Amino acid sequence: MSVPAPEILAAFEAAKGFMPAGEGLALYEAATEAAKLGLPLLEVGTYCGRSTILLADVARQAGTVAVTVDHHRGSEEQQPGWEYHDETVVDPEVGLMDTLPTFRRTLRKAGLEEHVIAVVGRSPQVAKVWGGQLGLVFIDGGHTDEHATNDYEGWAPKVAPGGLLVIHDVFPDPADGGQAPYRIYLRAIGSGDFEEISVTDSMRVLRRR
C-alpha cells in the first residue's frame, strides 16, 4: 500500500478541511495507481487544499500534475447560517467566502505549489473547455443533485481507460448524509463504463473499463 511520507501526512492533517485521514489514505492510494498512466490528476472541489496535498505529492513523485477546479466561494453548506460555515475564510471587503488565499497558503506550507494547477472557475464551464484525458478524477464538489450531476457529466467522460473515478461522500443511507453523490455513484456503476475497486467509508474508487 502506498502511504504519504510523515511530513505530507502532517501537512494534510494540519490543513483546514473535512476529509478524515482514512479516506485521505484511500485517495492517496488511488492517485498513486492512477498516476502510472502519466496523465494529470484532477479534483473537483478544492476548498482549502486538504486533499490537494495528497494529490500533489503523488503528482510530484510521478512527474505529472494535480489540477484543482473550484470557484472558491464555498458550497451550499458552507454559506453563512449553514453547518460548515467558517468566518475565517470570508473576504471582509466583499462579504463572500474566498478560500483561495487559504488554499494557496496550504500548498506553500506543504512545499507543493509547483505541482498544482489551480483553476478558479465553475466545474461545468471548465469541463467544457478541458480537452485532454485524465488519469484520475476526484469528485468532491457541491452536494446538490444539480452540482453533483454536472460534475459527473462534465468530468467522468474524461477519465482515460484504466483511469480512476473517485467519488466522496457516498452515503447509501440518507440518515448518514446527502444523496446526490450516491446517485452519481449508482449512475457510474450502472453505465457499464466503470467498475468499483475499493470502498473506504464514504469514498468510492471506480476504474474505467
β 41-44/96-97 pair status: unpaired
Listed in order, strand segments (DSSP E) in 47-193 are 66-70, 90-91, 96-97, 116-120, 134-139, 159-167
133 CB burial (10 A radius; 0-12, 13-18, 19+): middle
Q: Which helix (H) or strand (E) holds 145?
A: helix 145-155
Do the Cβ atoms of 103 and 119 come closer than 8 Å? no
Q: What is the CA radius of gyration of the chain?
A: 16
Phi, psi of 116 (to 5 degrees): -130, 135
Q: From its phi and psi, is residue 45 left (phi > 0), alpha (psi between -120 and 50) or beta?
A: left
Is residue 143 part of the annotated active site? The answer reads: yes
From the list 135, 147, 179, 189, the residue with the least C-alpha distance to 44 is 147
Query: Which one of the listed residues 71, 72, 115, 143 is annotated catalytic?
Result: 143
Catalytic annotation, residues: 143
